[in-house]
Amino acid sequence: MSFVFRYTPLFIALGAMISPTHAQERAEGFVEGSSLNLNFRNAYFHRNQLLPGVRDSREWAQGAVARFESGYTPGVIGVGVDAYGMLGLKLDGGGGHAGSSLLPLNEHDDGTLGAAPRSFSSAGAAVKIRGFDTELKAGDLFLTNPVIAGGETRLLPQTFRGVALTNSAIDGLLLEGGQVSFTKPYNQSGHRRIDTFYSAGPDDRDSKHLSWAGASWNGTPSFTANLYAAELQDIWNQYYADFDYTYVVHDNLSLTPGVHFYHTQDTGQAKLGKIDNNTYSLHLTVAAGHHSVTTAYQRVNGNTPFDYINQGDSIYLDNSRMYSDFNGPGERSWKLQYGYDFAGLGIAGLSTSLSYSRGKLDLTKADPNSAGYGQWYSADGKDARHWERDLDVKYVFQEGQFKDLSLLLRYASHRGSRGYSAVDNDNDELRLIVDYPLAIF
């Protein structure tokens, strides 16, 4: 059995620190504590790969997500149910322009892409049990942590199927663990086994399950930290640590240094081959009034790239951008980013950020025979380089009938040297996303 369940007694023991009387006091009714939230997302993706003879990808779609969360039955041990339903509708996206990642792929036998289906949908539920500040969920889960985080940047969110345990007995400290065996990708209706970003392909190198345990601390206003461990069966063991500290110089000036670190090591059958990878990023953010400037340095140590769950957001690195993650084998990269909150000019809800990232790596050191990462090898990649420019502009309505509705414009340009083009393409990408959240009750 996976290592993660050895942590279960710790969670239960910490939960027992809270008395049954206290648990009863904070228990709400199954119906009285229920909520139903809807989110409507309209998204347009346009990806121009700038390759001769390759058509750009353009897709436009409307998504809807309904999430119901019950309260808990009264008593020392409370029981509840969470459920969701999702629907994606294609508004535009012919076969010649499919493949933006917004809609499901419809691949023909000859490898060409046909038009995406007109709609795709999914539904799921989880049973939850709470006692002594410990909560157990089993079923379809929305997960967000550094080693397994469902992708949220497309039309519909990614979910996972399994069990998850959390404990919040100590203020500011979250302990969690769990195991999942299947994932519902963000642009598909059905579930599949978990795979990684680089392992997805004809060889179908997936895993039977992913197990994790971790702790997250935010008990002080100036310091946050995370410590996690995960096992992707027969592929890797992955360990993560981070911290951020905010030093307030005065009311209009603060400094926030931070570090993120992953260690990934092959395990079991090592379906992706040998992995011995240390990846970290360092950042410093200077916030002055409504302005902020961030500088970041990122390093991948190892002859394989930093890999993560396919379609997931579990890449908590500073230089993970809209198109490139700057996570190639042995890659060094840096980033400069500027942000501005237009509340400083009297336009509350409007914000923007502009960044430039640049990376350098030696792709001749990648193993061309690697089971999972051989595609990174390039005979011309001795001095491979690439860069990306990103612009985000977001407006959130602050009041009125459209309160909380948000408009997001994202634009990225990515360019690489001749040696780098063996593993990635020059690209211009535009995304327009409209989100409208509604709390029904």
Give me the pLDDT at residue 106, please: 75
List pLDDT tens digits, range 294-326: 999 999 999 999 999 999 999 999 999 999 999
The Cα 42–Cα 91 span in angstroms is 10
pLDDT tens digits along 40-71: 999 999 998 887 777 788 999 999 999 999 99
Residue 202 has pLDDT above 60, yes or no: no
Helix (H, G, I), strand (E, B) or coil at 199: coil
Q: Can you tell me the mean pLDDT for 171-189? A: 94
395's tokens:
């407006």
- Count Cα neighbours of 2 within 13 Å in the Cβ-side half-sphere: 25
**SS3 state at 3:** helix
**Residue 21 predicted with pLDDT over 90:** no
Q: What's the pLDDT at 276? A: 95
- The sign of the dihedral angle between the CA atoms of 4, 8, 14, 15 is positive
pLDDT (mean) for 244-256: 95
Whole-structure pTM value: 0.90
Per-residue pLDDT band for 411 (boundaries 50, 70, 90) equals very high
Q: What percent of the chain has pLDDT over 70?
A: 91
| 268 compared with 113, residue with greater pLDDT | 268
pLDDT of residue 108: 67
Who's near 277: CB < 8 A, 6+ residues apart? Answer: 262, 263, 264, 265, 300, 301, 302, 304, 305, 306, 307
Going from N- to C-terminal start, the domains of the chain cover 3-439
Residue 295, CA atoms < 13 Å, CB-side half-sphere = 3
Residue-wise pLDDT tens digits, 255-264: 999 999 999 9
Give residue-wise pLDDT tens across range 416-432.
Answer: 998 898 788 899 999 99
Q: Residues 95-114: what's their mean pLDDT?
A: 75
Computed over its alpha carbons, how large is the radius of gyration of the chain? 23
Q: What is the pLDDT of residue 6?
A: 38
The pLDDT of residue 144 is above 60:
yes
Q: How far apart are CA 372 and CA 32, in angstroms?
A: 50
pLDDT tens digit sequence for 346-399: 999 999 999 999 999 999 999 998 888 998 999 989 999 999 999 999 999 999
- Within 8 A by CB and 6+ apart from 316, the residues are 146, 240, 242, 260
Q: Where does 278-367 have alpha helices with state H?
A: none
Band (pLDDT 50/70/90 cuts) for residue 17 is very low
Q: pLDDT digits over 158-178, tens only?
A: 999 999 999 999 999 999 999
d(CA 141, CA 161): 6
Residue 14: in which H helix or E strand, if any? Answer: helix 8-15
- What is the rounded distance in angstroms from the CA atom of residue 182 to the CA atom of residue 276? 26
pLDDT band for position 84 (cuts 50, 70, 90): very high
Q: Which CATH superfamily is domain 3-439 in?
A: Porin (2.40.160.10)
